[in-house]
Amino acid sequence: MPFWKKENPILGRINGCLRLVISVQLLVFSLHQTQKINMENFTNETIDTTNLPKYEEVAFTSLHPNYKKVVLLNVSVFSVIAIIGFSALVFFNKGEFTQTNILTLGSALLVVIALVFFFSLLSFRKKGFAFRNHDVLYRSGIIATSTMVIPYNRIQHVALHEGLVSRYFGLAKIEIFTAGGHSSDIEIPGIAKAQAEDIKQLLMGKIQKQL
């Protein structure tokens, strides 16, 4: 074979390096052009905050009326336990309490129980929930009202829980867990069992669509 047709390993390596350099330059040029086009199409216009949708205008669904009975029953059990505890304290320490002290402490206990009843009923009236196309809302509070909004794409798990008293009245609680949370982010009590099952299926379907 003539010497000019023999393959020179050094020239082959040089040609390979040149091809690599050209390929890298073409790639950098292509990325630069893409970035340039994206920057030309980039917009950052001011948002008119006066026309934003307001979650306050959402029609919230109130809790089931039977849940008020659950609340009152739970408070009643607490009240009975508190009264029994106070009576036992007075009975086993008769010599340490005067009649005035007993009347004062008893009156204070009754005031506390009345306040617990009042705020429990107020909390029941303020609670509500709503499911929109892209998120779930839950409203709660006693004096101040807070509303939690969770997009469906953040929900990872949904659980349905039935307490002993709630089960007697045919009610259930929906627990919604989001990414990174060990405890439920939203707990919606006082929902009819059939409706709670439907809500759970709805949320599970939303989760499956995100996967």
- 53 vs 117, residue with greater confidence: 117
Q: Look at residue 54 and tell me whether its pLDDT is greater than 80.
A: no
> Is 210 buried (19+), middle (13-18) or exposed (0-12) by CB count in 10 A?
exposed
Number of domains in the chain: 2
**Which of residues 182 and 127 earns the better pLDDT score?**
127
The domain containing residue 150 runs over which residues? 128-210
Same domain, 118 and 189: no
DSSP 50-84: GGS--GGGS-PEEPPTHHHHHHHHHHHHHHHHHHH
Give the integer Cα–Cα distance in Å for 135 and 145: 19
Q: Using 50, 70 and 90 to split pLDDT, how confident is the model at 196?
A: very high
Residues 134 and 174 in one domain: yes
* 176 neighbors 158 (Cβ within 8 angstroms): yes
Assess whether pLDDT exceeds 80 at residue 8. Answer: no
Whether pLDDT at 165 is above 60: yes
CATH number of the domain where residue 140 is located: 2.30.29.30
Residues 134 and 196 in one domain: yes
pLDDT, tens digit, for every residue of 83-126? 999 999 888 887 788 888 889 999 999 999 999 999 999 999 99
- Among 166, 163, 159, 155, which Cα is nearest to 210's? 155
